[in-house]
Structure 1
Amino acid sequence: MNTYVAMLRGINVSGQKIIKMDRLKSIFESMQLQEVTTYIQSGNVIFGTTESDKVVLRDRIESTLKEALGYDVPVVIRSNDELDEVIKLNPFAVAELPEGEKVYVTFLASQPTAEAVAHFESYSNNVDDFRVLNREVYILSRKGYGKSLFSNNFVEKKLKVTATTRNWETVNKLADLSRR
């Protein structure tokens, strides 16, 4: 059995696309996924399956969610091993950050092109820092994510890929839950 984390984009944000986690859990269980667990209200689902093709799995989840909810919900999937790698590759020393600075990870649905990454890197500034590594963008937010240029929408637009963002604490919790 493979363990995955599905991170749903745009769920329960600013009163939009509201879904209770018990309903979300039941939708995932209806797909015959195993050991389904949700974490916080932002659309994180940990589950087990024998399916190993993440594209097939993502397409199936997105299709089922659209049928059940009546609207599109983009989904980004990572395995528990991939989440462990995301944590290992974090370029920012979280324990040494001054108070008020936080790390966020934007998970990309696919690898951005080299040209898109080069263009994105041209937005470097003195307020926030970031690194694009593989299918993740690590963001060091110095003045609050709500004030950061590197919002999820900005990252998606500039890198031209679907994305969803989680704070560092959530990334670590999802990794812990996926190791069960």
Structure 2
Amino acid sequence: MNGFVALFSGINVGGNRIVKMAELRAFFEELGFADVASYVQSGNVVFCAAQTDVTVLTKTLQDAFDKRWGFHSRILVRDAAWFARLVTDNPYPEIVDDPTKLHAMVLEREPTSEETGRLAEKCTGPERFEVKGDVLYLHAPDGLGKSKFAEILPRTLKVPGTMRNWRSVLALAEMIGQR
């Protein structure tokens, strides 16, 4: 069995698109996955599967989730090695002691240089970012909630993804490392 993390986008935010974590864990178990655990209410599930292809796992989960809950939530599945690289490749190690200021946006795909350049033009505040493969690392010194750049990031970059603060990243990396 191989360890994976499924990151859901847009569930349990602002009282909308509610999915209880106990129900989500049961859903994964019904689909035949093992060692299922969730982290916080925003849709982070660590699980084990015999399947090794994240594309197949993503499609399986996406189709079953949409059918079960009746709405679409983008699901990004990553394996343990990918998650370990996410942590190791952090370009802002000096920020890790303040995990509310450091975020990782897991992207569906690696952005093109044109897409990244368009985003760089809009980064005029105190924030800074770096893209490594299919991850955008964001240092928001005033916090994500006060960041004007974070507000425009998804529609400017135009690469679907989901953001996690560094505390969540580290917790998920530890959880998947135990699988």
Q: Taking structure 2 as the reference length, what is the TM-score of the superposition?
A: 0.92
Deviation at 1:124, TM superposition (A): 2.2
Equivalent pairs, count: 178
Match of 1:111 in 2: 110
Between the aligned partners of 1:124 and 1:134, the Cα distance in structure 2 is 19
d(CA) in 1 for partners of 2:36, 2:87:
23
Mapped pair 1:176 → 2:137: no
Q: Look up the SS of the partner of 1:117 in the other structure.
A: helix
Deviations 1:143-165 (A, max 9, x none): 120121343x6333222222100
**1:60-109 CA-partner distances (Å, limit 9, x unpaired):** 10111111101001011111111111111111124576x79610111101
Cα distance between partner residues in 1 of 2:91 and 2:74: 27
Q: Distance in 2 between matches of 1:115 and 1:92?
A: 23
Post-superposition shift, 1:38? 0.6
The more displaced of 116-125 and 168-177 is 116-125
* Residue 55 (str. 1) matches residue 45 (str. 2): no
1:161 counterpart = 2:159: yes
Do the aligned residues in 2 keep the contact of 1:94 with 1:102 (CA within 8 Å)? Answer: no
CA RMSD of aligned residues (A): 1.8
User: Which structure 2 residue ranges, 5 or more long, are not aligned?
Assistant: none
Q: Give the gaps of 5 or more residues in structure 1.
A: none
Question: What's the secondary structure of 1:122's corresponding residue?
Answer: helix
> Structure 1's 22 and 100: CA in aligned 2 closer, same or farther, altered over 3 A?
closer
What CA distance in whole angstroms lies between the structure 1 residues aligned with 2:54 and 2:99? 36
Could you state the TM-score of these two structures normalised by the residue count of structure 1?
A: 0.92
Aligned residues of 2:105 and 2:137 also touching (Cα < 8 A)? yes
1:20-35 equivalences under 5 Å are: 20-35=20-35
Q: Distance in 1 between matches of 2:122 and 2:95?
A: 26
Query: Which stretch shows the higher mean deviation, 2-11 or 154-163?
Result: 154-163
Structure 2 counterparts to residues 112-131 of structure 1, below 5 A: 112-131=111-130
Contact 2:105 2:163 in 1 (8 A): yes
Q: Provide closer, same or farther for how the CA distance between residues 28 and 154 of structure 1 changes in structure 2, counting only shifts above 3 A.
A: farther
Q: Structure 1 residues 110, 20: CA separation in 2 closer, same or farther (over 3 Å shift)?
A: same
Q: Where do 4+ consecutive residues of structure 1 move more than 4 Å? A: none
Partner of 2:136: 137
Q: Does 1:17 align with 2:43?
A: no
